[in-house]
Chains A and B, each alone.
Chain A
Amino acid sequence: MELTSNRFKQNASKALVDAQLQKALGNVEKGFIAKRQKSADALPEFDALRDNARDIKNHVLAHLDLYLEAYETKVTAAGGHVHWAETAEDARRIVLDICKRVGARTVTKGKSMITEEIALNDHLTANGIEPVETDLGEYIIQLRGEHPSHIIAPAVHLNKDQVESDFRRVHTHLDAGRDLSEPVSLLSEAREVLRQRYFAADVGITGANFLIAETGTSVIVTNEGNGDLTQTLGKVHVVVASIEKIVPTLEDTSQILRVLARSATGQDMSVYTTFSTGPKRPEDPDGPDEYHVVLLDNGRSAMLGTEYQDMLRCIRCGACMNHCPVYHAVGGHAYGSVYPGPMGAVLTPSLNGIDETGQLPNASTFCGRCEAVCPMRIPLPKMMRHWREREFERNLQPAVARYGLKAWAFFAKRPKLYRLFAGMGMPVLSMMGGASHRFRSLPLAGGWTKYRDLPAPEGKTFQQQWAERQSRKPEAA
């Protein structure tokens, strides 16, 4: 997708006046938060599990090379193939080569943010291969030519009526008079349509929530079972996953699974948690003939050893965006990048560079709710601040903001001068505020007074009044 992160402000302003979007975003705010809270409250050891999950990933990141090689060995031993992709372009080429070699005409896809990151669908389409998204949300946005607005709920920006009209527009072979007024009827229709596509597909492409070094297994979690059909019915299963998805053992996987669904949807476990190891064995009743794993770096190894390394612990649960007041206000598309919300505000600059994405780490109140709910305890605000530091070092922020900050810092570092000016200014400003004690508008304060009144100062500064009080005290000398 085209990166429009530097138009975040404009995107956001449009989103704020989009009544349909605002209505849909209300569901994010209400639904996810209460469910996660209930699920976390029901598990006394939830916070201890979060610590454990964090420690597992920290250990992996400290020994990533070791675990990646161990993983490759196990995949190969199980009859699968591992392909190393340094860039998005490499990954696209590898997947296309596999599809071409087996003469694929259509591929089914399980929900995968990594294939969004490498823009795989566009690449396959351009090469005459039709990708079919099988996750309901992904299927809907594919019909609409859109991108996911949320990493686990890609169509969360839409409402039911929009989906109904899309289905009527595209599923023209079905009875025009059918009843699609209930969400379940939309789901059934998508299932019916997609069922045919699974059987016709030559290749099934999925992402992975985990890659297990101990066994060479890829793991996906879904609620619709579409991922299972995608990866077992095609002749070839291609897993596209980024290198930080590695976990050492099955036991570690189980540990992190216990915080994943709870943080994401408030479920104890997702409906389907599917483990795939290699292609179909002779004794297996079903499964793919070929099993490939494309391991994508795309800038991640460069994050190791930096102040952004902790971001590689992310398990893509979406809790940070579910709890973000900025995401609630503008939705995922405003971010103009593959990954929206707080995790995107940290990851996108790492993947795409800060020059094109500087708005993202700035568009945060630092309320800290994302970090408070992150199952992997990723210090998201801290890392957003680090991105602001990188910007500041290179003078990437707007000149007005830079000079304003420098002027303020000049006085903040000179208490005597600061007191002098504050002591002169505040009483004047207070008088200007008059009996209402507030301003509806004030020169240079337009950013504030556009939407709210500015409270007037009370009069003399605290420092002035304190000094007067001290001088009245006999013992103060």
Chain B
Amino acid sequence: MTSNAMNAAKRPQVGLFATCLVDLFRPSVGFASVKLIEDAGCDVHVPVAQTCCGQPAYNSGDRADTREIAEQVIEAFEGFDFVVAPSGSCASMLKKHYPGLFAGDAAWEDRARKFSEKCHELVSFLADVMMVRNTGASLEGSVTYHDSCSGLRELGVREQPRKLLAQVRGADLKEMTDSDVCCGFGGTFCVKYSDISNAIVTKKVTNIDASGADMLLAGDLGCLMNMAGKLKRIGSKVEVRHVAEVLAGMTDKAPIAGGGK
């Protein structure tokens, strides 16, 4: 064992589950996550055998494919001390929904349960597990925070991002009305029921605009892409970013769906 590896063994070893949307659309969130987790005193690993958590299959009723994907994720990540995802919905899939996929298969059920105990959504991992109180970032301007549904209701992510944002120098948090109401994304829902999804996201962007904030933040890229896409379509100047980008002080890249009108 090299001295580096020995040194590393003392630090928590974190497997970063980047999520498919971050991998494909917004790598910046992945790098912001890496920085935040490393700054919190952990080593970060990114297993190559990751694609998606399986939610598209799971929520379409395809349990067989979901289970195969879950097995793949568990095999790739179960060796780490923690598994962290910059998404409440994907983290909840790993943490809350994987064990149920293996009900009746004692060996896998136990494995999935042990795995699920290691899984965390990024911001709550920082605040609740690593006890991070200040990420040392700064930002000039006002932000508003949307509570993505799965993170909020399945994992209890609510105060953690707000407390950390409150410590970001120069950032002013302006709460929007109904920050805890769904944005209308819902995975495949937004294309299967596009008319209804549009009605829901229209209310959401009205509330975002009314908050007067310069920037919209949330912890889930799916919701962010939905809201950013709608904000840009109606010509809003609000910039949209994943909360990790702001907490990591990495806001140099163009915002989601670009800036300006």
A462 and B253 alpha carbons, distance in the complex (Å): 14
* Chain A residues within an 8 Å CB radius of B13: none
The answer to whether B195 and A16 have CB atoms under 8 Å apart is yes
B171 touches A (CB below 8 Å): no
B148-162 to A contact mask, C-beta < 8 Å, 1/0? 011001100000000
User: Which B residues between 31 and 83 are near A, CB-CB below 8 angstroms?
Assistant: 31, 46, 48-52, 54, 56-63, 65, 68-69, 72
Nearest Cβ in chain A — how far from B71, in angstroms? Answer: 9
Nearest Cβ in chain B — how far from A220, in angstroms? Answer: 33
The answer to whether A391 and B258 have CB atoms under 8 Å apart is no
Chain A interface mostly: helix
A352 touches B (CB below 8 Å): no
B19 to A, closest residue via Cβ: A462
A184 touches B (CB below 8 Å): no
* Chain A residues within an 8 Å CB radius of B226: 452
Known contacts A455-B257, A465-B31; decide if A366 and B59 are in contact (CB<8 Å): yes
The answer to whether A455 and B18 have CB atoms under 8 Å apart is no
A325 and B49 alpha carbons, distance in the complex (Å): 36
The answer to whether B189 and A389 have CB atoms under 8 Å apart is no
* Chain B residues within an 8 Å CB radius of A463: 18, 23, 46, 48
Nearest Cβ in chain A — how far from B207, in angstroms? Answer: 12
B194 to A, closest residue via Cβ: A447
The answer to whether B194 and A451 have CB atoms under 8 Å apart is yes
A449 and B48 alpha carbons, distance in the complex (Å): 31
* Chain A residues within an 8 Å CB radius of B61: 385, 387-393, 397
Nearest Cβ in chain A — how far from B31, in angstroms? Answer: 7
A364-386 to B contact mask, C-beta < 8 Å, 1/0? 11111101100000000000010
Count residues of B near A (Cβ-Cβ below 8 Å): 70
The answer to whether B46 and A458 have CB atoms under 8 Å apart is no
Which of A366, A369, A405, A438 gathers most chain B CB within 10 Å? A366
Partner of B30 from A371, A466, A475 at Cβ < 8 Å: A466
B15 touches A (CB below 8 Å): no
* Chain B residues within an 8 Å CB radius of A413: 51, 65, 68-69, 72
B87 touches A (CB below 8 Å): no
Chain B interface mostly: helix
The answer to whether B51 and A452 have CB atoms under 8 Å apart is no
B225 to A, closest residue via Cβ: A455
B112 touches A (CB below 8 Å): no
B197 touches A (CB below 8 Å): yes
The answer to whether B254 and A437 have CB atoms under 8 Å apart is yes
* Chain A residues within an 8 Å CB radius of B181: 325, 367, 369
User: Which A residues between 442 and 457 are near B, CB-CB below 8 angstroms?
Assistant: 447-457
B219 touches A (CB below 8 Å): no
User: Which B residues between 194 and 219 are near A, CB-CB below 8 angstroms?
Assistant: 194-201
A329 touches B (CB below 8 Å): yes
Partner of A405 from B60, B63, B185 at Cβ < 8 Å: B60
B126 touches A (CB below 8 Å): no
Partner of A458 from B27, B65, B185, B200 at Cβ < 8 Å: B27
A419 touches B (CB below 8 Å): yes
Nearest Cβ in chain B — how far from A242, in angstroms? Answer: 28
The answer to whether B196 and A452 have CB atoms under 8 Å apart is no
* Chain A residues within an 8 Å CB radius of B256: 437, 455
A412 and B233 alpha carbons, distance in the complex (Å): 31
The answer to whether B60 and A450 have CB atoms under 8 Å apart is no
A17 to B, closest residue via Cβ: B195
A455-472 to B contact mask, C-beta < 8 Å, 1/0? 111111111011100000
User: Which B residues between 1 and 41 are near A, CB-CB below 8 angstroms?
Assistant: 2, 4, 18, 20, 22-28, 30-31
Known contacts A405-B62, A422-B24, A452-B229; decide if A9 and B57 are in contact (CB<8 Å): no
A272 touches B (CB below 8 Å): no
The answer to whether B191 and A436 have CB atoms under 8 Å apart is no
A360 and B55 alpha carbons, distance in the complex (Å): 19
The answer to whether B182 and A363 have CB atoms under 8 Å apart is no
A199 touches B (CB below 8 Å): no
Known contacts A329-B200, A385-B58, A453-B233; decide if A364 and B189 are in contact (CB<8 Å): yes
The answer to whether B23 and A415 have CB atoms under 8 Å apart is no
Nearest Cβ in chain A — how far from B46, in angstroms? Answer: 5
User: Which A residues between 112 and 136 are near B, CB-CB below 8 angstroms?
Assistant: none
B99 touches A (CB below 8 Å): no
Nearest Cβ in chain B — how far from A341, in angstroms? Answer: 13
The answer to whether B72 and A367 have CB atoms under 8 Å apart is no
* Chain A residues within an 8 Å CB radius of B254: 437, 458
* Chain A residues within an 8 Å CB radius of B72: 413, 415
The answer to whether B229 and A448 have CB atoms under 8 Å apart is yes
> Mind listing 8 A-B residue pairs with CB under 8 Å?
A365-B184, A385-B58, A389-B62, A401-B60, A401-B192, A409-B69, A437-B256, A463-B18
Given contacts A438-B229, A452-B198, 10 further A-B contacts (CB under 8 A): A363-B196, A365-B149, A366-B149, A372-B153, A392-B60, A405-B60, A411-B51, A438-B258, A461-B27, A462-B27
